[in-house]
Chains A and B, each alone.
Chain A
Amino acid sequence: MSMMRALGLAAVGALVLGGPVAAQPRRAEQPKPSVRYASTWEDALAEAKLLNVPIVVHSHGFY
């Protein structure tokens, strides 16, 4: 099992432990061009070390 998949499953587990989200997101069209996001903090650290580039952390709110 890949680290990404393991972390994904761990995230789902954490969701279950913390209480499931009541509704599933709506499905829609294809996404607009966007930066490529790291899927986990650990992946971000590993890739940024390898490339020797800074991590840019964006802290936003949904609303």
Chain B
Amino acid sequence: MQTRSEAEEHLRIIRSLMEKATIYRAISAPGALVAGICAVALATVGWTTSNPHDSTRFFQLWALVLFLSVAVNLSLLRRDAGRRGEQFFSPGMKLALRAMLPALIAGGLCFFVAEVGGCALTASLWVLLYGVSLLAASHFAPRSIRWLGRAFFVAGASLMVTGGFVFGTWRIGNESGLAHLIMGATFGLFHLIYAACTWPRATGGET
């Protein structure tokens, strides 16, 4: 060891490996199941009964689903941490929050422009930013979270690319219904698939 820079390089290697080795599952399988069921149920009801241009009701209902899903997921993560004898607010959770928060906050900020952009565009942005937030945590997340992030990112990006044409068409028709459909097909179905894929192995290795 001759120089300070060499010592810093070794510390960087240690830090990077420790971060990689810290696997943190930010979404529990039962939490994803609850979120998926709520999202699919609301999307089905919203698709069939919503007022085509009542975006306020759309945002209120999905904010409620978000609140419920986050509350259930956090309580399940707390229970799992307790079972493992770990702290709820563990270093892994802090690492995950640091990585995910910027994109999640950006998604929350979409509420402020939602009335201008319309609910279909806002829903697409949520899908994209949720995917970005999951991918940001992918260095220390199990493979299943990485795949979930990729699925949301690809779906969000596709919706943004096709949005100009599709949303323009639907704005004349049932835009609120389309937004419910987007939310149900992504936040609903993707979380249900994630829950199904991780459930049997949730108590075993990290998948």
Asked if A pairs with B, the answer is no
